[in-house]
Amino acid sequence: MRRTLEFFFPPSVSTIEELKAFATGEASYLAQKTVIGYCRVKTMLDYEKLLTEADFRDAQELCRWEAYASTLSDMLVLIEGWLRPGAEPARQKLADSLAAFYPAILGQHVPPHRQDWADSLAAFERRFALARTSEPAAPEQVVTESAKLIHELVPIADRLKRNDREVINGDLRMHMLAAHSSMLKRFRRDALVAALTT
């Protein structure tokens, strides 16, 4: 019953912990839905069989984790643009607070194929520094690099995925638009801005 109620009446997001949970959950969903969904479509009836093969399973997990690191960056850029206060110093404080989410969330787990997230952290720092001083990007625009990454890493033969970057990009855009719609419904903007700037 609780799950059904939350589906039709999703809980509001008004605290830092709730915001972190939202960003983490949406980023995870974006990555998993896109990577696994694409693999299922391209392999069709062979998908379950391929999951029994360690090489395919490990490659899919690698892609999913790398996609997650990228979609988490997408989510935080989107959230900062939507919550951004109009004046300083609140604007800077809010962006600084959100920037700290990325290493805190990503550092909770390091997958077996990595020793650390140093390159992802550095890439996010560069991206976020630019995004926070630019006009907020539209939801469907923030996932372009994630689509390129997934297209490159997804464990499907190059000859079969060669022309599918736009397919992956379209899938990610659709899911990000849904995440943005959820933000509009669930975020309590004033409460979140206050929590992130004090």
In the predicted model, what is the mean pLDDT of the chain?
A: 94
At 11-30, the pLDDT tens digits run 999 999 999 999 999 999 99
Binned at pLDDT 50, 70 and 90, residue 7 comes out as low
pLDDT for residue 9: 72
- Tell me which H or E stretch contains 168: helix 165-186
The single-letter DSSP state of residue 187 is B
pLDDT for residue 179: 95
Contacting residues for 132 by C-beta, under 8 A, at least 6 apart: 80, 84, 95, 99
Rounded to 10 deg, the angle between the 16-43 and 144-153 helix axes is: 40
At 67-102, the pLDDT tens digits run 999 999 999 999 999 999 989 899 999 999 999 999
**Model confidence at 5: pLDDT above 80:** no
Binned at pLDDT 50, 70 and 90, residue 2 comes out as very low
Binned at pLDDT 50, 70 and 90, residue 45 comes out as confident
**Model confidence at 1: pLDDT above 90:** no
Q: How many alpha carbons lie under 13 Å from residue 185 in its C-beta half-sphere?
A: 13
d(CA 154, CA 60): 6
Residue environment code for 120-134, b if the CB has 16+ CB neighbours within 10 A, otherwise e = bbeebeebbeebbee
- Predicted TM-score (pTM) of the model is 0.93
Q: What percent of the chain has pLDDT over 90?
A: 90
At 163-184, the pLDDT tens digits run 999 999 999 999 999 999 999 9
